[in-house]
Amino acid sequence: MSNQQNNTAIAERDTFMLPAPMDEGFDAADVAEDLEGLELSFPRVKIPGGGVPQFKMPGEDPDHPTYVGEIEGIILFNHSANAYWPEGSEYDDNTPPQCQSLDGKQGCGDPGLLCAECGYNEFGTSGKGKLCKNMRMLYILRSEDPIPLQLALPPTSIKPFKNFVNMAFALRRRPVYGSLVKITLKPVSSNGFDYSVAVFNRVRDFAGEELEGVKAYAENFRAMVKAALEKQIQEQETAGTIPTTGEPLDLPDNDGHFAVGGLVDGERELLPA
């Protein structure tokens, strides 16, 4: 194989392959209107409990899931989400939260307060942590995938994500979608509990035409998700309750990584090295 052929093969391998462009002739509000009474959902990636350093990937057969050690892609969008379960039911996957917030700002249910003013969202209400579980929802597009994946970061992975965004993007004045990112899991043990913490690394920056394509796709996707979330929040506020059927909020598994030795997130204390 000639050098030119080698260079072409390397370029094709390194180029991020976006799905077919979203039709710019349709407005995000139109998509949100179509979702009235429904929930916008994406294939869900899960972080298993017990310190397993592999992601549980969505698949057609839930009895035989696929596990991968890393996810490489573009973080198209991310936002906060909160949920509160009464003590004793927080690890029951069949019990919906008593109060939840799709945007991490306004709760719906009981007590249904502004998250910033809610007592359940204060440190010390559950050991050294919070009764309300703070999460971060990430929408990740892998090369050649037709649909982005959704990864719900548990409380213990929020601080590593914030630090990564600050160092890799905010201080460099780049949007989060401006670089290819690799996410892995690091096993951690604390006070007799084993869990996994997400580790983030920047693979490379997008530039030129590739960046223009990524930007167009990401901005369209963000507008669609924001509009759909706003519609769901409005519907919840109108009803005044959380739906008791379906999956109104895609959450991490209610496993031991929600609370580790009384800590429910990485904001209060540094995690073990």
Question: Structural domain boundaries of the chain?
Answer: 18-255
Cα 79 to Cα 57: distance, rounded to the nearest angstrom: 21
pTM above 0.85, yes or no: no
pLDDT at position 134: 92
Q: What is the pLDDT of residues 113-165, one digit of tens each?
A: 999 999 999 987 777 778 898 999 999 999 999 999 999 999 999 999 999 99
pLDDT tens digits, 10-58? 444 578 999 976 555 666 566 656 656 556 689 999 998 889 999 999 8
**In the prediction, which pLDDT does 186 show?**
96
Q: Phi-psi region for residue 207, left (φ > 0), alpha (ψ -120 to 50) or beta? A: beta
What are the φ and ψ backbone dihedral angles of 139, each rounded to 5 degrees?
-115, 115
Confidence of residue 264 (pLDDT cuts 50, 70, 90): very low
pLDDT digits (tens, 9 = 90+) for 188-221: 998 888 999 999 999 999 999 999 999 999 999 9
pLDDT at 2: 53
- CB neighbours (10 Å) of residue 144? 9
The pLDDT value given to residue 236: 77
